[in-house]
Homo-oligomer: A and B are copies of this chain.
Amino acid sequence: MNPNRVHIAIVGATGAVGVEILRVLERRHFPVGQLTLLASPRSAGKTMNFQGREHPVRALEASAFQGVDIAFFSAGATRSREFIPHAIQAGAIVVDNSSAFRMDPKVPLVVPEVNAADLHSHAGLIANPNCCAAILAVALWPLHQAATLKRVIVSTYQSASGAGAQAMEELLQQVRDHVSGQPLKAEVLPHQLAFNLFSHNTKIAENGYNEEENKLIAEIQKMFHTPQLPMQATCIRVPVLRAHSESVVIETEQPLSPAQAREILSRAPGVKIVDDPATNHFPMPLEASGDLDVHVGRIRQDLSAPPQHGLALWISGDQLLKGAAWNAVQIAETLLPNSKKF
């Protein structure tokens, strides 16, 4: 590929993540030479603005990847399974935002701050992790390197955007209906989300965990190369639009004080410390929204763990950015032939 004129394709260009990929490519001045926007036949014929110019959206088909250098897939696992082989065959490198290939041992699953080195082994396909896993990985990896994680317990506060643009619109519509005294409808998500929250709406597996929880655990274990790391997750959907928050408790093999952890995280790539007890100012989804960094705060000793061997953290990260679009573009940046990060 010509590193100054990369031919980019976005599959699912009109979806919540697809739109953000386009915005992040602009924001990062990614050297886009040509842009192929693909979506369902329903969206074909629309146009989308990129760097001040309208680009047509075309219907996704197997022959759409001719000449594409990097293809971002964000149209669900089924479409990824069907069309990614065609994209690879056409010579594109695929960054897949779906869960289809994440646990395939031949496919690297990458958060660049954590395991960019795993990109070396790719065979045309790189998986982008689950949103909660990506956000958590950025905050935990520097602590793991410093003191070796022994146990991770996480409870999530996941925004509507994780279920797509329609779920965000449903939350907004519920709020409008509440204000105008209309009955609230839940059609995209299984329950009313306005003024409510609920256990993540994915299937409960045999181990009693829902798919989101099992993904979060398995993907952290894969990216950290610690397949046996003991992890516990509870995933909850909350009435927030687009950033996920996580309450995290860790145990470490080596001693690690809250002050040390704070110092380590303040130097860590992709992390912004938001931690001011004097003004009660800590990570909030509203402030993390739109930010490429993961916000980390409330760094303190876990009162139920031995001193220096347990910490609690509170983090927020934009689900559509670090949890999806930004991590995908960041992988693409790392793949550029002239990247110094690779």
Q: Which residues does A use to contact B, with CB under 8 Å? A: 151-153, 155, 157, 175-176, 178-180, 190-192, 194-199, 201, 203-204, 207-210, 217, 230-234, 236, 238-241, 245, 247, 249, 258, 277, 280, 282-286, 297-305, 310, 312, 314
Contact = CB atoms under 8 A, between A and B. Distances in A.
A331 to B, nearest CB: 28
Contacts of A153: 153, 249, 302, 304
A210 B198 CA distance: 25
Contacts of A180: 179
A258 B303 contact: no
A207 B301 contact: yes
Contacts of A299: 208
Contact of A155 (B196, B247, B258): B247
Nearest to A201: B280
Given A236-B247, A312-B232, A303 B217 contact: yes
Contact of A285 (B197, B208, B258): B197
A152 B196 CA distance: 25
Given A303-B230, A304-B232, A155 B152 contact: no
Given A209-B300, A236-B247, A298-B234, A284 B152 contact: no
Contacts of A302: 153, 232
Contacts of A178: 175
Contact of A284 (B179, B198, B217): B198
Contact of A157 (B197, B209, B233, B286): B197
A265 to B, nearest CB: 15
A282 B198 contact: yes
Contacts of A232: 249, 302-305, 310, 312
Contact of A286 (B195, B208, B284): B195
B245 A197 contact: yes
B197 A238 contact: yes
Contacts of A203: 280
Given A178-B175, A303-B232, A195 B277 contact: no
